Structure 1
Amino acid sequence: MNCWLDKHSRLRSTGILGAFFACICLWLSFGLASATAAAKEPGPVISLVVDGRGVESDVLPLVRNGRMLVPIRVIAEATGAQIEYDAKKQRVTFDQKGKHVSLDINSRLAYVNGERVTLETPPIIVNQRTLVPLRFVSESLGYQVEWDATSSVAFVQTKPVEDRAVTVKESANPYVVQPNDTLGEIAERHGTTRSAIRENNYLSSEKLMIGQILFLPHEAKKAEHPLASKVQDKRLLSKDYWFPFNNASWYEPYGDSFGSDREWTESQSGSVRSHEGIDIMAPKGTPIYSVSDGTINRVGWNTYGGWRINITDKNGQFRMYYAHLSAYAPGLRVGGTVKAGQLIGFVGDTGYGGPGTVGMFAPHLHFGMYRNDNGRVVDPFDYLRYWEQNKVVSLFA
């Protein structure tokens, strides 16, 4: 079997790390909406990702000049910092973990341990709360912050990224395992070695399965049974398509669950239906990316798929279906366009009921593909295995 994940990868707790993040969630409940909130969203929206997990909130953060603002008093008090406010000077100071921070309202100048720092956006007072740029607060506390302007989502990293999903180094020559194939025979026929194939594919053993995809190393001959001869549309086997998770996201190894039985139906008649996609199990809040350029044709609640989004690919050939999301990235709407590798939502456990139904199954991404001309469902498994070698690079890689 292919070891698609680094052997050291493991599922970690998704709890909020420290009061820093709890206070952000508190602030989000204060009702400070960003400019993007003016347009009605199709469902829950997440604008903040902390250590690779989306942080849910009731409202969108306040964004000014492209910068997210958070209330410094809530942050400081929630993290146990000593805070003081000089109303006459309109100056806020706080001390935490050996750091002394001082900043003035409506001034872009701040001081950290006596060293002057220029803020990207000045602190402001809204509803008697002092708000400062998230980047300044995070970096003052030793965190990393990145802003994804395309998706209008802020990313905060409090620790080194440790989990890495392994990708094949040489993926241009995929071979489909045939009946009675052995690794040695495949290597001999293609002018390479067993060890080279094992190393390139991270194989833990030489046991093969019919239909398994092996990526032959660069010195090998052209695959006798290439993946392009198996799939319906070889145009999708290109670097223009991306895997729906980034290279730092943890997810379980997945199999071809297409066509398997599913017992839950809207009518609850006890009938069995066929599964029209591939399920990839991952922690709730894991970011999901569009596999292709395309146009959104449906977004919102579906009885089976929960919060879902349908995107017609740029060639107009296929509709990509992402289901069971916990939330969307901001600003998605029917008719809107997305780019391959753009953040569109977050893993969840929604669906199998009316709007808001959760918990009917473990969190995962259901990914489906349908032909756009006749609506027929397509097994996306082989495409996903190919795209798995082309992932969005984490902002903190």
Structure 2
Amino acid sequence: PTSSPRAPARRAPGADSTPRREGPPRSVMRTVGPAGLVIPVQGIAPESLQDTFNDARGQSRVHDAIDIMAPRGTPVLAVADGTVEKLFTSAAGGITLYQFEPDSRYVYYYAHLDRYAAGLEEGDTLRRGQVIGYVGSTGNASPDAPHLHFAIFLLGPEKRWWDGTAINPYPLLGGRRGWSGG
């Protein structure tokens, strides 16, 4: 099976005209949150997410992201359509990917990856549910606790991939605390 969106099936003239569903496979659709974002780690259900957005990190900052625990090598999925803005390795985040959504208003940040999906390059177009990498523990993550550090930032007018206003992904991915629907 592939994690890429399915193409509409071709029909013979006179065949059943029932519309076919387009978009990600049904297995991906079961993990779509209220904002239409796919849970970025394959096989993780919304109810298993933990809201770590406001957790302290060090003495002077908060997390501004959620950590999604999963076995090393679990596929990481693009939460929405967009483009790969930056592939980057840092001391804190390790192997990271910054994805702009189509309107370049938001950036999705994926960190502590074990590796990227084969052939992935900056500028690539991504489809919601596409495999972009694999869960790891690079950077400052504990080797004993592989996870995806996932963040969303509202970009400023400069559209700098590294600079934006943090938005809590937890309710947007279907987490229940503080979520009032739709």
TM-score (norm 2): 0.69
Q: Secondary structure at the match of 1:310?
A: strand
Kindly tell me: are residues 252 and 303 of structure 1, through their superposed partners in 2, closer, same or farther at Cα, counting changes over 3 Å?
farther
CA displacement 1:16-45 (0-9 Å, x = unmatched) = xxxxxxxxxxxxxxxxxxxxxxxxxxxxxx
* Separation (CA, whole Å) in 1 of partners of 2:137 and 2:152: 20
* Separation (CA, whole Å) in 1 of partners of 2:45 and 2:170: 18
Kindly tell me: are residues 324 and 252 of structure 1, through their superposed partners in 2, closer, same or farther at Cα, counting changes over 3 Å?
farther
Question: 2:172 maps to what in 1?
Answer: 383
C-alpha contact 2:42 2:74 (8 A) present in aligned 1: no
Shift of 1:373: 2.1
Q: Secondary structure at the match of 1:376?
A: strand
* Separation (CA, whole Å) in 2 of partners of 1:381 and 1:251: 9
Kindly tell me: are residues 366 and 252 of structure 1, through their superposed partners in 2, closer, same or farther at Cα, counting changes over 3 Å?
farther
* Separation (CA, whole Å) in 1 of partners of 2:152 and 2:79: 11
Shift of 1:318: 0.6
Shift of 1:296: 1.0
Question: 2:148 maps to what in 1?
Answer: 365
Structure 1 residue 311 corresponds to structure 2 residue 99? yes
* Separation (CA, whole Å) in 1 of partners of 2:45 and 2:145: 15
Shift of 1:251: 9.7
Question: 2:82 maps to what in 1?
Answer: 294
C-alpha contact 1:326 1:350 (8 A) present in aligned 2: yes
* Separation (CA, whole Å) in 2 of partners of 1:149 and 1:365: 18
* Separation (CA, whole Å) in 1 of partners of 2:114 and 2:48: 21
Question: 1:260 maps to what in 2?
Answer: 55
More helix by share: 1
Question: 2:35 maps to what in 1?
Answer: 237
Q: Report which of the two structures shows the higher radius of gyration computed on alpha carbons.
A: 1
| Paired-residue identity, % | 34
CA displacement 1:99-131 (0-9 Å, x = unmatched) = xxxxxxxxxxxxxxxxxxxxxxxxxxxxxxxxx
C-alpha contact 1:295 1:335 (8 A) present in aligned 2: yes
Q: CA RMSD in A?
A: 3.1
Question: 1:127 maps to what in 2?
Answer: none
C-alpha contact 1:250 1:282 (8 A) present in aligned 2: no
CA displacement 1:227-254 (0-9 Å, x = unmatched) = xxxxxxxxx723xx3221334x589923
C-alpha contact 1:257 1:275 (8 A) present in aligned 2: yes
Question: 2:23 maps to what in 1?
Answer: none
Whichever residue aligns with residue 172 of structure 2, its letter is Y
Q: Secondary structure at the match of 2:119?
A: coil
CA displacement 1:68-126 (0-9 Å, x = unmatched) = xxxxxxxxxxxxxxxxxxxxxxxxxxxxxxxxxxxxxxxxxxxxxxxxxxxxxxxxxxx
Question: 1:346 maps to what in 2?
Answer: 134
Whichever residue aligns with residue 384 of structure 1, its letter is L
Whichever residue aligns with residue 256 of structure 1, its letter is D
Shift of 1:274: 1.3
* Separation (CA, whole Å) in 2 of partners of 1:313 and 1:250: 23
Q: Secondary structure at the match of 2:173?
A: helix
User: Which is bigger in relative contact order (C-alpha 8 A, separation at least 6)?
Assistant: 2
* Separation (CA, whole Å) in 2 of partners of 1:252 and 1:281: 13
Any residues of structure 2 matched to 1:182-261 within 5 Å, and which? 237-238=35-36, 241-247=37-43, 253-261=48-56
User: Is there any run of 5+ residues in structure 1 with no aligned partner, and where?
Assistant: 1-145, 151-163, 173-235, 264-270, 353-357, 387-397
Q: Secondary structure at the match of 1:304?
A: coil
Question: 2:19 maps to what in 1?
Answer: none
Q: Secondary structure at the match of 1:371?
A: strand
Question: 2:111 maps to what in 1?
Answer: 323
* Separation (CA, whole Å) in 2 of partners of 1:149 and 1:282: 18
* Separation (CA, whole Å) in 2 of partners of 1:273 and 1:315: 29
Shift of 1:149: 9.0
TM-score (norm 1): 0.33
